[in-house]
Amino acid sequence: MAIRILVQEAPFDFGAEADGFAAGRTDLGAVVTFSGVVRDLSGSLDGMAIEHYPGMTEKALDAIAREAEARWSLGEVLVIHRYGEMAAGERIMMVATASAHRKDAFESAQFLMDYLKSRAPFWKKETAAGARSWVTARDEDEAALKRW
Amino acid sequence: MIDVLYFAWVRERIGLPKERIDSSAVTVADLVTELRAREERYDLAFSDLSALRVAVDQELADFDAPLAGVREIAFFPPMTGG
């Protein structure tokens, strides 16, 4: 199985990545993609900065992808996660999974998201109405791991 | 010698991203005790361990993890990726 992990500051082209993902793999009939976008619920967000732990980030994402590979029948896995400064509406990250069957592709994509939210070393800091604050981890995110 | 890294608000509170420490601490918790005794900014950053996570050589670990042979320790708040 092919695992591709990209941790980068630069924006990525979601459409091109989704198009190229598992291209030519006629044995993989199910492809799931998820993309996380900087949201602004209050309308006052000036921007978001994401800090990460170079070295550990790549290792943690690779370990999570390998765990998914062990649990489901997957042909391809892609994880792209950005760091640095972003504006509302910008894509932060994406995951894509490809399998012969949709159940494996859907479930493994959810697993990857649940784990990378709380187990990959990224920290978000929002600037809203001129004030900067670290985004706090939610109990639901930790609880989401228990279902796996 | 051990490299100690700080991220997010832990880095901000302590005021630096990384330092090299000569420590005789046996566990992560011992190292935290040593750091807290240094200065108030450390004491404040480590005042609530339930709000902190630790990685030992880039793997998530517990505060009772041993430090023998360890090269790099990182302290940070719960992660908020995705």
Is A81 a residue whose pLDDT tops 80? Answer: yes
| Per-domain boundaries in chain B | 2-76
Q: Which of A5, A53, A57 would you mutate first to test chain B, the one with the most B CBs within 10 A?
A: A53
Sheet with A91-99, strands from edge to edge, namely A2-8, A76-82, A91-99, A30-37
Residue A111 near residue A63, CB atoms below 8 Å: no
User: In this complex, do B58 and A51 lie within 8 Å of one another by their Cβ atoms?
Assistant: no
Quick check: A120 and B7 CB within 8 A? no
Q: Computed from CA positions of residues B62, B64, B67, B68, in that sequence, does the dihedral angle turn out positive or negative?
A: negative
In the A/B pair of chains, how many CB contacts fall below 8 A? 70
The CATH fold assigned to B2-76 is Ubiquitin-like (UB roll) (3.10.20)
- What is the set of domains in chain A, with CATH numbers? 2-147 (3.90.1170.40)
User: A118 and chain B: CB distance < 8 Å anywhere?
Assistant: yes
For position A142, what pLDDT does the model report?
Answer: 87
Q: Residue A25 is which amino acid?
A: R
As given in the structure block, the two tokens for residue A22 are 């598992």
Mean pLDDT of B26-46: 97
Q: What is the pLDDT of residues A15-72, one digit of tens each?
A: 999 999 999 999 999 999 999 999 998 899 999 999 999 999 999 999 999 999 999 9
